[in-house]
Amino acid sequence: MSNEPINRAVRLIAEQSIDRASQSLSKMLKAGASIDLKRVGMVDIADITTDLNGENQEVIGSFVDLLGDAPFKFLFYVQTKGAFMLTDLLLKRKSGTTLQYDENVSGTIQEIGNILASAVANTFANDFQISFKPTPPVVFNDFAASLFEGLIFQAAGEDNQILLIESRLVIMKIHLPCRIFVIPMPGSYKILEFSE
């Protein structure tokens, strides 16, 4: 597999997809969200997980499996305290109201994961003429590195390198950084390359 054609095609679509995700989220939260596409390309599983292990973050995250012609996996996460701030923002409550992980926090992160994953999936589906069937988002409160392990588990079983689309998102109103990872599964590489 040559990485370059995939990278060029996926980068273009990834940029469009995060623009759409940013718009959707801004609309939902009624607050500006800026998204930066941090990387698109093949990464070594040991290297990327060493980086994340070093960050040592405790987060609340939302997983979505995008099943279909070209299966992807999606993960959105934010630091635990940040998730509390997001919950207050979404529920239009005074910042600092939410102090612990509860069903409101879980519901907020689930909904944001759903919105973002749908935006990403729709862009890839339109531009590559493929279909996705997203699973309901599953929310976890855990170490970021442990969640990421779950995200790449299947892809890493087949290869030492995975195709990773990583974006960093900031909710401007509360200066809150969040992360989005999208992993096209190895079975989808052929479709992405063909579309180039």
Site for another protein, residues 121 to 150, rule: CB under 8 A: 138, 140-147, 149-150
Determine, following the binding rule CB under 8 A, whether residue 157 of this chain makes contact with another protein.
Answer: yes
Determine, following the binding rule CB under 8 A, whether residue 66 of this chain makes contact with another protein.
Answer: no
Minimum distance from CB of 174 to another protein (Å)? 25
Token pair of 172 as six digits: 């401007």
Residue closer to another protein (CB basis): 36 or 44:
44
What are 146-154's contacts with CB under 8 Å, separation 24+? 147/59, 147/61, 147/63, 147/75, 147/77, 148/48, 148/49, 148/52, 148/75, 148/181, 149/49, 150/63, 151/63, 151/73, 151/75, 151/181, 151/183, 152/45, 152/48, 152/49, 152/73, 152/183, 154/73, 154/185
Minimum distance from CB of 92 to another protein (Å)? 29
Residue closer to another protein (CB basis): 33 or 71:
71
Out of 18, 60, 65, 164, the only residue in the binding site for another protein (CB under 8 A) is 65
Residue closer to another protein (CB basis): 64 or 120:
64
Out of 160, 172, 187, 194, the only residue in the binding site for another protein (CB under 8 A) is 160
41 CB-near residues (< 8 Å, 6+ apart): 3, 7, 163, 164
Query: Which residues contact another protein by CB under 8 A?
Result: 45-54, 56, 58, 63, 65, 138, 140-147, 149-150, 152-154, 156-157, 159-160
